[in-house]
């Protein structure tokens, strides 16, 4: 998440980085009803979103950072495994 720049915009629990306030905090991801307010919060939808946010919502400020399927799956698993998730 550091390498792909997630922490430039998001607070990512358990990842040490300066506090970012551009995008929402990623804590409690597993308890959110929606991904980006559009998709039901399921692992498949979160992975879809992570892989290409503008394809899901062309008006999003979140860029496509070029995640592979495996990277998106790993990030989704990490977010859902957090204690608050």
Residue ranges of the alpha helices (H) in the chain? 43-51, 53-56, 69-81
Which CATH number does the domain housing residue 35 bear? 1.10.760.10
Question: Average model confidence (pLDDT) for the chain?
Answer: 92
State the residue range of the domain holding 15: 6-81
Query: Which among 3, 17, 4, 2 has a CA at the least distance from the CA of 62?
Result: 4
37-75 pLDDT per residue, tens: 999 999 999 999 999 999 999 999 999 999 999 999 999
Answer yes or no: is 1 within a domain: no
Residues 6+ apart with CB under 8 A from 3: none
Number of domains in the chain: 1
Answer yes or no: is 10 within a domain: yes
Q: What percent of the chain has pLDDT over 70?
A: 98
- Dihedral, CA atoms, 36, 34, 26, 72, nearest 10 degrees? -80
* Cβ–Cβ under 8 Å, residues 18 and 26: no
Answer yes or no: is 47 within a domain: yes
Answer yes or no: is 51 within a domain: yes
What pLDDT score does 16 carry? 87
């Amino acid at each position: 998440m550091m390498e792909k720049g997630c922490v430039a915009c998001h607070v990512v629990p358990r990842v040490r980085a300066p506090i970012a306030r551009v995008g929402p905090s990623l804590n409690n991801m597993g308890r959110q009803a929606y991904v980006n307010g559009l998709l039901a919060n399921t692992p498949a939808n979160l992975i879809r979103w992570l892989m290409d946010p503008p394809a899901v919502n062309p008006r999003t400020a979140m860029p496509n950072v070029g995640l592979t399927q495996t990277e998106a799956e790993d990030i989704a698993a990490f977010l859902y495994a957090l204690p608050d998730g």
